[in-house]
Structure 1
Amino acid sequence: MTSRRQVSADLNSDLGAYVKAWRHRLAPDDHQAPRHRRRRRSNVTQEEIADVVGVSVVWYSNLERGVRANYSDAFLDAVTEALRLNRYERELMYLLAIGRMPAPALTGPDPGALDPALRHFVEGQRWATYVLDRYAHVVLHNEVCESYYPWLRTDPSYSRWLFTDADARRRLVNWESDWVAPLLTELRITRARHPQDTGIAALVDAWLETSPEVRGLWDDHAQPYPLRSRRGMRLSGDQQTTLVDVVTLTDPSVNDLQIVSLLPVAGEA
């Protein structure tokens, strides 16, 4: 039987091993601070990373020694940038260092970090297709998608548009039951699956405070909202209703990404 002390020791060991490995994979010429560039090194040093992050070598080296402490989000995010961590590595560092997930980036994850095969699949679809992360950010979409969701040109947050923008109420037929309620259900499930993710809780709280209608739907646990794959939309400048089948593919092993396609229903309105 594994003791709590052993689990804690394993987490400390993992934290140190991962942070050190991430530093060692960096190219020295890209991260050497100015005063260190006179001599060439095979690895980026702790001192160089500390210079970039703006902390003492001792404070940064705590991470590489596996010391779990009350590190600030600002510090961990600065380390993320200095070590050039991707989204998943950032989440792992947060969990190992302070025992919780980071808040989501306001701009969403870097689409460049997505699997090339997924990018090829999405961009190759002839119907509107996009990828949502667990925070309801659109992290990837094809060009066709912008005819349905023009807001994607400036803002990746699907939940912000859906919950707070008057354009969403105009475009989406049965806005409450067919569109808002399903996303709220997904957010409930995500929050339950990731109870340590403060970003999910903060996201839900923000939208509940912003929209009384969304708050009412969230609080009304008894109201049945059947999930309909066939839904109505109004395209830009079009008052007629276009029916679409909303097809969703999920892969929980890939950080809760959902691939969503909007398939027009031929011959119906």
Structure 2
Amino acid sequence: MNTELREFLRSRRAKITPEEAGLPTLPGTRRVPGLRREEVAQLAGVSVDYYVRLERGKSVNVSESVLDALARALRLNDVERAHLFTVARPTRRARPLPPQRVRPGLRLVLESLPDVPVMLVGRRMDVLGVNKLAAALYKDFDAAPPHERNVVRYMFLDPAARELYVDWADGARSAVASLQFYAGQHPHDPQLAALVGELSVRDKDFRRWWADHDVFRHGHGSKKLHHPVVGELTVFYESLIPREDPDVMLSMHTVEPGSPSAQKLRLLASWAASDVDAEQGVDSVPELRGS
């Protein structure tokens, strides 16, 4: 049984109203949120029995044309459409994934951009490396125990993340949705299963949002942070994937030139470049606090 396909189709169907799908609204109370199965089948141009089999995870060699029709009927965005195609055609159980290594060239990229916070993110949103400014902006993942070097784990289990993000819930949900997208590509990753299991047990928000089956792929955007050293600032991120390392994402953070955020990032860079003992914390630089 294709559990991923079943849960994804159910979750997408529940998010669309008949009005959004262009269907007439009939009198009476609907017993299900979103569209009914027969309505999705009608919109996709397939039989109800066939769609029911798909939603029960009993698909076999589903065609590209049917998946395209379902994507249109369910109004999927590009990321959701890609996820649908992935989970509808699962690969056989793969061999264990080898540990990821950071190529020397990518490590040089981190070290060559001292004025830009840069992170290398790998499978399961594991953090493979950060430069000094990214460590100061978020967390020194390189110095953390190996099992803590993960963006999603940081978002839910490190109290500092909840203080850093002005809209923590939005950032946390995006992290969960990114992990869900990865799960569609690597459903048999045992380390993924262990991570999801731990977070599901330890955090009710993660457990609830994981069950939503939303998917997200980091590309570009912005986020507001309230940093304990320099105060509030807005950063923009661009996510780049090296051609030879498709399982690695280079996440670069910038600020608008001449803005208050740019000034605060320069202050943070000065603080990060100093050899302040980590145990002294922000009290060692009182001139930056509340800037």
Length-normalised TM-score, structure 1: 0.53
Equivalent in the alignment of 1:132: 121
Give the structure 2 partner of residue 70 of structure 1.
none
Query: 2:95: which partner in 1?
Result: 100
The aligned residue for residue 234 of structure 2 is 243
CA RMSD of aligned residues (A): 3.0
Alignment check: 8 A CA contact 2:219 2:238 kept: no
Match of residue 189 from structure 1: 181
In the alignment, is the contact (CA less than 8 A) between 1:128 and 1:263 conserved in 2?
Answer: yes
Question: Which secondary structure does the structure 1 equivalent of 2:181 belong to?
Answer: helix
* One-letter amino acid of the structure 2 residue matched with residue 245 of structure 1: F
- Structure 2, gaps ≥5 residues long: 1-92, 262-291
C-alpha distance in structure 2 between counterparts of 1:119 and 1:164, whole Å: 27
8 Å Cα contact 2:236-2:254 kept in structure 1: yes
Q: Distance in 2 between matches of 1:187 and 1:222?
A: 10
**1:154 lines up with 2:144 in the alignment:** yes
Identify the residue that residue 230 of structure 1 maps to in structure 2: 222
Structure-2 change in CA distance of 1:194 and 1:254 (3 Å):
same
Identify the match of residue 107 of structure 2 among 99, 104, 119.
119
Counterpart of 1:163 in structure 2 is 156
Unaligned runs of 5+ in 1: 1-97
The offset of 1:186, in angstroms, is 1.4
CA contact (8 A) 1:147 1:235 kept: no
Shift of 1:219: 2.2
- Aligned residue for 2:227, secondary structure, equals coil
Q: Following TM superposition, by how much is the alpha carbon of 1:159 offset from its aligned partner in structure 2, in angstroms?
A: 2.1
One-letter identity of the residue aligned with 1:183: A
Paired-residue identity, %: 20
Q: How does 1:8-19 map to 2 (within 5 A)?
A: none
Aligned to 1:254: 245
**Distance in 2 between the 1:185 and 1:252 partners?**
23
Give the TM-score, by structure 2 length.
Answer: 0.49
1:157 Cα offset (Å): 2.5
Q: Return the letter of the residue paired with 2:185.
A: R
CA distance in 2, matches of 1:257, 1:129: 13
Question: CA 1:138/1:223 → structure 2, altered by over 3 Å: closer, same or farther?
Answer: closer
Q: Distance in 2 between matches of 1:206 and 1:168?
A: 18
Aligned residues of 1:232 and 1:244 also touching (Cα < 8 A): yes
The alignment status of 1:172 with 2:171, answered yes or no, reads no
The offset of 1:252, in angstroms, is 7.1
1:159-178: CA deviation from partner (whole Å, max 9, x where unpaired) = 2211112211110111111x
**Does the C-alpha gap of structure 1 residues 161 and 222 become closer, same or farther in structure 2, counting only changes over 3 Å?**
closer
Match of 1:248, as an amino acid? S
Residues in 2 aligned to 1:192 and 1:222: alpha-carbon distance in whole angstroms: 11
Give the AA of the match of 2:112: G
Q: Confirm or deny: 8 A CA contact 1:101 1:199 kept in the other structure.
A: no
Partner of 1:24: none
Alignment of 1:41-56 (within 5 A): none
| 2:255 aligned residue | 264
1:233 Cα offset (Å): 0.9
Corresponding position of 1:20? none
Q: Which runs of 4+ in 1 moved over 4 A?
A: 221-224
1:212 and 1:117 mapped to 2: Cα distance?
Answer: 40
Q: CA deviation at 1:114?
A: 2.1
